[in-house]
Homo-oligomer: A and B are copies of this chain.
Amino acid sequence: MEKRATIKDVAEAAGVGVATVSRVLSGGSASAATRERVLAVAAQLDYRPSALGRNLRQRRTGGMGLLVPDLTDTFYGQLSEGVLACARSAGEPVVIGSTGGDPEQEADLIGMLLEQSVDRLIAVPSGDADAWSPVLRAGMTVVFADRLPLLSSPEDVRAAAVADLMALDGLSAAAPARPLDIPAVVADDRAGIRTAVRYLRGLGHKRIAFLGGPGQESRVNAFREAVGAPVDEELVVFGTGSRDSAYAAASGLFQSRPDLSAVVAGGNVLGEAAVLAARELDLRVPRDVSLVMYDDVPWAELCSPPLTVIAQPGRDMGYRAAELVLRAGTRKPRSVVLPTELIIRGSCGPHR
């Protein structure tokens, strides 16, 4: 196990000062002759600058943090792949954490990132806005993906609801002033849900349920808006994030309201739970109940019938978020809303 060459070794071998080596390697000015010599020596010694020294000197770790609720959820897998793709092309490391949707674990992981001096973070937030403002004060550049943190105080919630609707109105609409001024890359939940609800309405469905998970406030709001008042509150139910609780929620919904004829699932885990629960209760899809699921995942096509879905570009979402967080120094990052698409397959039928 031979030890790695340091910048000092290169400097000595090339007969120059360490400062010159540093400049050559980080693109500073140097004469053509010395540049060439330094590069040759560096290559010959197989010199790789130590990120440790650099990081300490610049008082920050390169790369970025990535916080997702669950890597077992295919959508977050897609999102992560997008982030990693962007990071790879930039040659930057990404340190990842899985929060389990738990604000406490999220806070722990943020603490760990802080300790590592990771100052750029892409997060699918679980904690509320109050939990995130300290992070900003710590000097972190944060970009939210997939969703925004829930606002905590009542008046904030009101303001945010308004802001959300405004933000989603146009695809590239400028984000309104929010209590928490953090850029985000999210899907156009409002349009996606609206399209799905209209589609179901067009098939004759009247009693449409929403099966949601944690952090899907924006989708629920969109659902409420799309169905119009008055919303039958028994028809919107929530799981807590685990597959078990999603199944319980779905099963409970089907049993307590046999009159519902369609359900929109707020995410692929919820969708999975819905088809499982429906099968268990001998409800046929789409004969007895129509189903449209948020997230297009490979296995949606495998179901029989194949699932009609609201597709959101998970990979793009991750990639864009990574771009934003990397360019944060240069450009002031603006929020991005990505389009969704209703992909009609076989899980929705006419109301009978």
Which of A's residues lie within 8 Å of B, judged by CB? Answer: 1-2, 4, 48-53, 55-56, 59, 61, 63, 66, 70-74, 77-78, 80-81, 84-85, 88, 91, 93-98, 105, 108-109, 111-117, 137-139, 243, 272, 275-276, 297-299, 301-304
Which of B51, B52, B77, B112 is in CB contact (< 8 Å) with A74? B77
Question: Are A84 and B98 in touch, CB under 8 angstroms?
Answer: yes
Question: Are B59 and A52 in touch, CB under 8 angstroms?
Answer: yes
Given the interface pairs A98-B81, A299-B272, the reply to whether A117 lies near B71 with Cβ below 8 Å is no
Which of B55, B63, B108, B139 is in CB contact (< 8 Å) with A52? B55
Question: Are A94 and B95 in touch, CB under 8 angstroms?
Answer: yes
Shortest A343–chain B CB gap in Å is 15
Shortest A297–chain B CB gap in Å is 8
Shortest A295–chain B CB gap in Å is 12
Question: Are B301 and A302 in touch, CB under 8 angstroms?
Answer: no
Shortest A163–chain B CB gap in Å is 25
Shortest A69–chain B CB gap in Å is 11
Which of B80, B96, B117 is in CB contact (< 8 Å) with A95? B96
Which of B77, B88, B111, B243 is in CB contact (< 8 Å) with A77? B77
Which residue of chain B is the closest to A314 with respect to CB atoms? B72
Given A48-B111, A303-B304: 15 more A-B contacts, CB < 8 Å? A1-B139, A2-B137, A51-B115, A52-B59, A71-B77, A71-B80, A72-B81, A80-B98, A88-B108, A93-B95, A93-B116, A95-B95, A96-B96, A243-B298, A272-B298
Copies of this chain present in the complex amount to 2
Question: Are A95 and B49 in touch, CB under 8 angstroms?
Answer: no
- In the complex, chain B residues whose CB is within 8 Å of the CB of A1: 137-139
In the complex the two chains form, what is the Cα distance from A80 to B94 in whole Å?
A: 14
Question: Are A78 and B74 in touch, CB under 8 angstroms?
Answer: no
- In order of increasing CB-CB distance, the 3 nearest A-B pairs are A299-B299, A304-B304, A71-B77
Which of B56, B66, B71, B108 is in CB contact (< 8 Å) with A53? B56
- In the complex, chain B residues whose CB is within 8 Å of the CB of A303: 299, 302-304
Question: Are A81 and B74 in touch, CB under 8 angstroms?
Answer: no
Shortest A95–chain B CB gap in Å is 5
Which of B50, B52, B56, B109 is in CB contact (< 8 Å) with A88? B109
Shortest A112–chain B CB gap in Å is 6
Question: Are A78 and B72 in touch, CB under 8 angstroms?
Answer: yes
Question: Are B117 and A52 in touch, CB under 8 angstroms?
Answer: yes
In the complex the two chains form, what is the Cα distance from A71 to B87 in whole Å?
A: 15
- In the complex, chain B residues whose CB is within 8 Å of the CB of A78: 71-72
Which of B50, B73, B94, B302 is in CB contact (< 8 Å) with A115? B50
